[in-house]
């Protein structure tokens, strides 16, 4: 399918994991994809993959915590590809598995600043372009932790993802009259390098998930990044034209139990 022809898509966290898979999928659907990542080499690798597959993409280095830089990057993207029609805020970290009474300020802010503030700064930077275009689709990256707190712990991560869910609903209502839909994809356990990426930013973070260990998931396995990317592509496309303000779980059935 080519549901996103003549559309400019911005993907943060596009250098790895769900972000990279989503960038590739949106490009396969016909979008010109701006791959944004804190690590320029990783962003470039995803963009190169897309171009080798016949798609259109460019890499941009940016830290989503830097509001001014995100505004600069979006301006560069608009100059290169045209006004933004799709945004996927894939940049995120998991956080430290530390008892809440022992969390440092760095532990707390390190996660909230990226997962929640970074999501907002990305969307805020893109909104003027989307308004000029006359509409579009924003997809945030939530989590099962937007809904449940299985086993407790990870307070900054769970707080950030709960915040992303409410931010998604708020923006969906605020911008519905402008033709801008805002939804959230909420993955469960997915095979990514989220934990190692987190450790580079939140030094006290430990390994959150170990794909070699069995999971209590009704479908009996970890998800693949490409499976989440498929949901992102649906929400980005006109096939989801009457869907806004929703948090779509893609968790193998975990929250159904």
2 domain-assigned: no
91 domain-assigned: yes
Residues 134-174: tens digit of each pLDDT: 999 999 999 999 999 987 789 999 999 999 999 999 999 99
Residues 210-224: tens digit of each pLDDT: 444 556 899 999 999
User: Range of 231's domain?
Assistant: 8-256
106 domain-assigned: yes
1 domain-assigned: no
DSSP string, 239-255: GGTT--S-EEEESTTGG
Phi-psi region of 153 (alpha: psi -120 to 50; beta: other; left: phi over 0): left
Is 150 in contact with 216 (CB distance < 8 Å)?
no
3 domain-assigned: no
Average pLDDT value for the chain:
92
229 domain-assigned: yes
Count of domains observed in the chain: 1
DSSP string, 58-85: EEEE--TT-HHHHHHHHHHHHHHH-SEE
Quick one: average pLDDT of 185-209? 66
Q: Helices in the chain by DSSP H: which ranges?
A: 17-28, 40-52, 67-81, 105-112, 118-133, 155-175, 194-201, 225-236
Beta-bridge mates of residue 185: 141, 248
Residues 37-76: tens digit of each pLDDT: 999 999 999 999 999 999 999 999 999 999 999 999 999 9
Is 103 in contact with 29 (CB distance < 8 Å)?
no
CA dihedral sign of residues 113, 93, 77, 171: negative
87 domain-assigned: yes
pLDDT confidence of 202, banded at 50, 70, 90? low
Neighbours of 182 (CB within 10 A): 26
**CA distance to 21, 59, 140, 166, per residue, from 11 (Å):** 10, 10, 10, 20
Hey, is 137 helix, strand or coil? strand
Provide the CATH number for the domain around residue 13.
Answer: 3.40.50.720
Residues 111-125: tens digit of each pLDDT: 999 999 999 999 999
User: Which positions are annotated as active-site residues?
Assistant: 157
Kindly report the pTM of this predicted structure: 0.93
Structure tokens at 133: 């275009």
Residue 100 CB-half CA count within 13 A: 8
CA dihedral sign of residues 168, 113, 83, 187: negative
């Amino acid at each position: 399918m080519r549901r996103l022809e003549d559309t400019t898509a911005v993907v943060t966290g596009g250098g790895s994991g769900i972000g990279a898979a989503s960038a590739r999928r949106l490009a396969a659907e016909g979008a010109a994809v701006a791959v944004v990542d804190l690590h320029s080499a990783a962003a470039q690798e995803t963009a190169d993959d897309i171009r080798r597959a016949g798609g259109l993409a460019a890499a941009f280095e940016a830290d989503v915590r830097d509001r001014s830089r995100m505004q600069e990057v979006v301006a560069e993207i608009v100059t290169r590809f045209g006004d933004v029609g799709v945004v996927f805020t894939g940049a995120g970290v998991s956080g430290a598995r530390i008892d809440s009474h022992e969390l440092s300020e760095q532990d707390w802010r390190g996660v909230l600043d990226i997962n929640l503030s970074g999501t907002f700064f990305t969307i805020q930077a893109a909104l003027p372009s989307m308004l000029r275009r006359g509409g579009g689709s924003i997809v945030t990256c939530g989590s099962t932790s937007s809904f449940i707190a299985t086993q407790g712990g990870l307070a900054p991560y769970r707080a950030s993802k709960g915040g992303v869910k409410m931010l998604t609903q708020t923006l969906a209502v605020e911008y519905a009259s402008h033709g801008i839909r805002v939804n959230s994809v909420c993955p469960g356990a997915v095979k990514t390098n989220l934990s190692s990426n987190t450790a580079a930013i939140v030094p006290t973070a430990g390994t959150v998930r170990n794909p070699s260990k069995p999971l209590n998931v009704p479908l009996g396995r970890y998800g693949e990044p490409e499976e989440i990317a498929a949901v992102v592509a649906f929400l980005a496309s006109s096939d989801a034209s009457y869907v806004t303000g929703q948090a779509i779980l893609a968790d193998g059935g975990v929250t159904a139990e």
